[in-house]
Structure 1
Amino acid sequence: MSTGFRQRLLLVAMAAIGLPASANAQVALSGHQLTLDLAMEAASEAVRSCAAHGWAVSASVVNADGVVKVQAKGDHSTIHTQDSSFRKAYTVITMGPIFGFDTTSEFVKKAAENPSAPALVTLPNIILLAGGVAIRIDGEMVAAIGVGGAPGGDKDEACAMDGVRKIASGLTSQ
Structure 2
Amino acid sequence: MFKPTASLLAMLAALSAASATAQVRQQGDLTLETANRLVAGAIDTCRRQERAIVVAVLDRGGNLLALQRAETVGPHNIEASRRKAYTALSTRTATLDLARQAAASADARNLATLPELLLLGGGVPLSAAGQVVGAIGVAGGGGAVNDHACALAAIRTVPGLDQPAAQ
Shared fold by TM > 0.5?
Answer: yes
TM-score bracket relative to the smaller structure: 0.7 to 0.9
Of 36, 39, 48, the match for 1:40: 36
**Matching of residue 64 in structure 1 with residue 60 in structure 2:** yes
CA contact (8 A) 2:101 2:109 kept: no
Give the distance between the partners of 1:123 and 1:57, measured in 2 at CA: 25
Equivalent in the alignment of 1:24: none
Q: How many Å apart are 1:159 and its aligned residue? A: 0.6
Higher helix share: 1
Counterpart of 1:125 in structure 2 is 116
Q: Is the 8 A contact 2:54 2:139 kept in 1?
A: yes
Aligned to 1:83: 79
Deviation at 1:110, TM superposition (A): 2.2
> What's 1:116 paired with?
107
Distance 2:115 2:91 in 1: 12
Q: Does 2:142 correspond to 1:161? A: no
- Superimposed CA distance per residue, residues 104-150 of structure 1 (whole angstroms, 9 cap, x where no aligned partner): 11111222333133432222220111111111110111111010001
Larger RCO of the pair (alpha carbons < 8 Å, separation 6+): 1
Q: Partners of 1:154 and 1:53 in 2: how far apart? A: 13
CA distance in 1 between partners of 2:101 and 2:109 (Å) = 12
Structure 1 outlier segments of 4+, above 4 Å: none
Equivalenced residues, count: 139
What does the per-residue CA deviation read over 1:20-79, in whole Å, with 9 as the maximum and x for residues that have no partner? xxxxxxxx7332111110011101210121122111110000111212111111232111
Question: 1:53 pairs with 49, 53, 60, which one?
Answer: 49
Q: Give the share of equivalent positions with the same residue, in percent.
A: 32
Q: Which amino acid is 1:130 matched to?
A: G
**Gaps in structure 2 of 5+ consecutive residues:** 1-23, 163-167
User: Quick one: which of 139, 150, 173 aligns to 2:141?
Assistant: 150
**Aligned twin of 2:132:** 141
Tell me the TM-score normalised to structure 2 length: 0.77
Alignment correspondent of 1:22: none
TM-score norm. by structure 1 comes to 0.74
Distance 1:118 1:110 in 2: 7
Q: CA RMSD in A?
A: 1.6
Question: Hey, what's the Cα distance between the residues in 2 that align with 1:38 and 1:155?
Answer: 22
